[in-house]
Structure formats: structure tokens, C-alpha cells
Amino acid sequence: MDIRQSPETPSPFSLKAISLGTLLSLGIALGAPYGNMVIRGSTMALDFSTAGAIFLFFLLTGGVNLLFARIHPALPLRRDELLVVYIMMIAASAIPTMGLSEYLLPIITAPYYFATPENEWASLILPHIPAWMAPQNPEAVKWFYEGAPRHRAIPWQAWARPLCYWSALVAALYAVMISSMVILRRQWAENERLLYPIVQVPLDMVRETEDGSLLRPFFKSPIMWVGFLVPVVAGSIKGLHAYYNFIPDADLVTYLPLFRNNLNMQFRLSFPMVGFSYLINLDIAFGLWFFNVLGACLKGLMRMTGISSTENLGYYGAGHEPILGHQGMGAMVVLVLFGLWTARGHLKEVFGSAFAKTGSVDDSREIMSYRAAVFAFLGGLSVLCIWLHASGLPLWAALAATLLIVFVFIGVTRIVVEGGVAEATG
């Protein structure tokens, strides 16, 4: 997806592309938390799941851009401008929900709000939290969960200091993520030729025609419209049923009790998974299905034989089974180590060009030079370690946590790059 500017073509980062991308990103930033936390509907933006961005891009390329052309010939966006808008939207999708905000703000305040005499958090946990990490105004914490009284302003002053410190951590995290992807992009995209299925559909939406028509071949395909209508109709029926009980539900899930009723094996017709299966390697598609089934069987066997854990890993607990969650983390570490070993030649050139300027690798196609990426990566890691150590972790624990953070970032990104999704529940 090369949208770089050549001397003969105008910049894709035009005022109309940036303005429209900002407007649509703002819509995602406002709509995703509202849909997720207020009406509790379908998730339009869930970290790497960018359904809202794809839907808006579908409307933009198939409808709004054509309307622009009817209004004035200079208004419609070119292919590269459309891609800039899409990149802005998928970047925005990772911020307002579980990618950042929905977790960060409760993490800051939860130990204070949920402290009770029964759990003794006030004596066991709160003394170990530095004052700069959370608002020290009890009203600010209470109002975050319960809402401020009428005609009372949000106590921003109580939030200013902790959010500044947490912003430094977030900035370091993003520096590590962006720079690591710059370092690995050439290895994944060109050397290993990974598929990047999550961008295949948007790229097809903006594929140009020989006659220069703004209506792309994607929107002229009858097969696409049949495939589009089936999940739209099924999803609309389910949505309408949630509000109007007299409309029958489109039930696409069934369960098979196994292992002496210790496990209900779920069989679900998932339209996103069906769609992704057409975009990814057959071996990857089989692996997603096989290991999901294997994990469910292991869960049933452990329950039947009395093997269990009381640990609570929350959303990341591999279907509420901590043992499988730790196995998955081990598998991710192996995946990352194997990938880095495979890329050792490329990494040697990258770090050689950064420190000794001996590498011959070409970085002209990257968003920053390899030298800048390497120093941004190392600088971000340093900030992470210092921040975690200042928060109370011993230095060795801060180093270990930082290493695991990098492994999770690279591992999840690799899974998304190859499989389109980072999770298959069952």
C-alpha cells in the first residue's frame, strides 16, 4: 500500500483528505464508546477490529465520493487520498475503546473507587500507588463512575497531573509500536510476503478502472453484493429483534454438550470469519479453526478431571481458562522468537545502518529512516522502563515487563498481519 508522493503527482496528504479523515475519525472516536458503553450494541471499533472504519470507507468510496464528483470535478478524492482517509480511521479505531481509553481511565481510578472495608484495598494496595498516578480528589474519582451532579463542572485540575504522566507512558508505547513496525515492515511485506488480509478489502475498494471511472470494479461485482446482503440481512434481523420482540431472531449459534456436560462446544456462523477465510492462507485458516477446537477440548478435559485455576485473567483469559491463557502467552513468545530469528539478516542490516552505517538496506520506502526508527525504539523502551520503575516496580521487573510488552506487540501484530484477527473464541 504505497501512497508516497512522486515528483509528478500531487501529495496524497491534501487538505480535503486530512479534513475528511479527521471528521470521520472524530465520528469513530465518539460513536465507538457510545455504542460500546451506552447502548451496548455491536462494536464498531475494538482495537485491531475496525468494522466502523471499513463501513465508513465503504460509504465513502461507493457513494460519497461519487456525490462529490457530481457537485464539482475537483471534489472527489483520488485513490491515494482515499487511502490516507482509511489509514486515519483505522488508527483512530484503536484509541477510544479497549485499545486505550476504555481500559486506561478505569485502571487509574478503580483501586480508589472499588476499595471497601471487606477487600482492604485501602491498606493493601493504595499505599503502594504513587500520588502522581491517579486523581487524589475523591469527588473526581466518584464522579468518573457516577457522573457529576447537575451544574457541576468536571474537576479537570484533579485529572491534569496523572493524565500528563500517563500520556508519557502512552507516547512511549506508541513510539515503540510504530518504530518496531518500521523495522519489521520490509521483512514481513517483501521478504516473507505476508498477506495483510485486513487491508485487502479496502485496497480492492479503491482499485482503479482502465476508463478512469470513480465507480470502482468492487462495487460493480454482483457476487460482492450477494455476499454483502447476506450478513446485512441477518445482522439487521438480530438488531431489530433486540428492540422489537415480535421480529424473529436470526439465531446463528448452537451448542453441543461434551465432556459430561462440562463444555458446551459452540458452533457459530461468523460472517467476518467466513470473509477472512477467503483472504488468508489456507494453512492459517485451518490453524485458526484447529487450535480453537483443540483449546476447547483441553478446557473440557481439564474441567472433567478437576484441573482448574482460580486466577482471573479477565478478557484475555482464553475463554475464562487461565491455564490456556498462559499456554497462549508461551506460544506467542515462541512465535516472536522464531520470527526474529528468521529476520536476523534483515535486523542485522537495520541495526548496522543505525549504529555503524554499514548496512546496505534501502529505507527510502519507510515512513522514517531505520536510524530514526532504531533510536525511537530504544528511546521508547527506556522511557517505559523508567516509568514502570518510578511507579514502584523493581528494576528487574520493569525490564521484564517491558520485554513482555514488546513480545505482545510484535506477536499480536504478526497474528493480525497473517490471520486478519488476533482472537478466535469458542
pLDDT single digits (tens) 173-213: 999 999 999 999 999 999 999 888 888 889 999 988 777 77
Confidence of residue 249 (pLDDT cuts 50, 70, 90): confident
pLDDT single digits (tens) 299-323: 899 989 988 888 877 766 565 788 8
- pTM assigned to the model: 0.86
pLDDT of 424 strictly over 70: no
Cα 50 from Cα 202, distance rounded (Å): 11
Q: Write phi, then psi, for 388 (nearest 5 degrees).
A: -65, -40
Cα 377 from Cα 380, distance rounded (Å): 5
CB 256 within 8 A of CB 267: yes
pLDDT single digits (tens) 78-124: 999 999 999 999 999 889 888 888 889 999 999 999 999 999 999 99
pLDDT at 211: 75
Cα 262 from Cα 292, distance rounded (Å): 17
pLDDT single digits (tens) 7-46: 567 888 999 999 999 999 999 999 999 988 888 877 788 7
pLDDT at 3: 52
Query: In a 3-state reduction of DSSP, which class is residue 346?
Result: helix
Following DSSP, what letter does each residue of 166-201 receive, concatenated?
A: HHHHHHHHHHHHHHHHHHHHHIIIIIS----GGGHH
pLDDT single digits (tens) 348-378: 999 988 887 665 678 888 889 999 999 999 9
Mean pLDDT of 36-59: 84
pLDDT at 6: 54
Cα 251 from Cα 271, distance rounded (Å): 13
